[in-house]
Amino acid sequence: DIQMTQSPSSLSASVGDRVTITCRASQSITKFLSWYQQKPGKAPKLLIYAASNLQSGVPSRFSGSGSGTDFTLTISSLQPEDLATYFCQQTDKAPYTFGQGTKLEIK
Amino acid sequence: QVQLQESGPGLVKPSGTLSLTCAVSGGSISSSTWWSWVRQSPRKGLEWIGEIYQSGTTNYNPSLKSRVTISVDKSKNQISLILTSVTAADTAVYYCARGSGRFVGWGQGTRVTVSS
């Protein structure tokens, strides 16, 4: 199975900050990477697919980049409603695997 | 907009069988898409269980393949998950989701506890 490793596991930032979360795959997945946002008590929500494509309806402050084994999710200006846990997921090869999550807290 | 709703027993005994359904509304399960099951537990995080196409073609996570069956019921517009020989390690929130790999929509999830 392809292992996905996220960092950091948690972070605290202020409203308006630029936030970056990284994800590394154990082997190349080209651009087959998705990012999800999960708010407390809710199901995950797709934010980014194919590494850099914004899912319909997702605010433009979210962006993704990377290819091969290294990827990043960036929130350009953190908003209070961005309090959540963020997961990366490889969609290159089944079984599709997820990172362990990054818990984002608002200072 | 397609909506998904999971249902099933919240408590299953060890060595028993977990059986869940996912009702699809706002769209046909026969549309050209895959439907998946994903579970989430504190111990293992998010784990893909398997997927089914409207034709009945399935793919399963090898770690669960010997115990899992996913099926589709077009007449009821729903998909089902059966997991046999459960243990405490199968305690999780179970989600159904639309898509293969990339999950564009999720149900709210249903919590299943394996305990005697």
The pLDDT tens digits for B6-40 are: 999 999 999 999 999 999 999 989 887 899 999 99
At B55 the pLDDT is 87
Q: Phi and psi (nearest 5°) for A81?
A: -75, 0
Q: What is the dihedral of CA B104, A85, B50, B107, to 10 degrees?
A: -50
pLDDT score, position B58? 96
Are A95 and B102 inside 8 Å of each other by CB? Answer: no
Q: Looking at the DSSP assignment, which residues form a beta bridge with residue B59?
A: B51
Tens-place pLDDT, residues B80-93: 999 999 999 999 99
Residue B9 confidence (pLDDT): 96
Q: Which of A34, A53, A96 to mutate to test the interface with B (most CBs of B within 10 A)?
A: A96
What is the nearest CA distance from A53 to chain B, expressed in angstroms?
A: 12
Question: Taking the CA of residue B73 as centre, how many other CA atoms within 13 Å lie in the half-sphere pointing to its CB?
Answer: 11
Contacts of B46 in chain A (CB under 8 A): 44, 87, 89, 98, 101
Q: Output the pLDDT for position B31.
A: 82
Distance, CA of A28 to chain centre: 17
Residue among B37, B40, B46 with most chain A CBs within 10 A, to mutate: B46
Mean pLDDT, rounded, for A31-59:
97
Residue of B nearest to A88 (CA): B46
Model pLDDT, residue B30: 86
Minimal Cβ distance to A98: which of B46, B63, B102:
B46
**Span A60-104, pLDDT tens digits:** 999 999 999 999 999 999 999 999 999 999 999 999 999 999 999
How high is the mean pLDDT of chain A? Answer: 97
Quote the Cα angle for B86-B92-B94, to 5°: 100
Question: What is residue A87's predicted lDDT score, i.e. its pLDDT?
Answer: 98
CA of B51 to nearest chain A CA: how many angstroms apart? 10
pLDDT of residue B54: 86
Using the Cβ of B102 and the Cβ atoms of chain A, whether some distance falls under 8 Å is answered with yes
Kind of pairing between the strands at A70-75 and A53-54: unpaired
What is the predicted pLDDT for the residue at B10? 95
Per-residue pLDDT averaged across B53-73, rounded? 95
Res. B101: pLDDT tops 90: no
Given this model, what pLDDT does residue B76 score? 94
- pLDDT, average across residues B47-67: 95
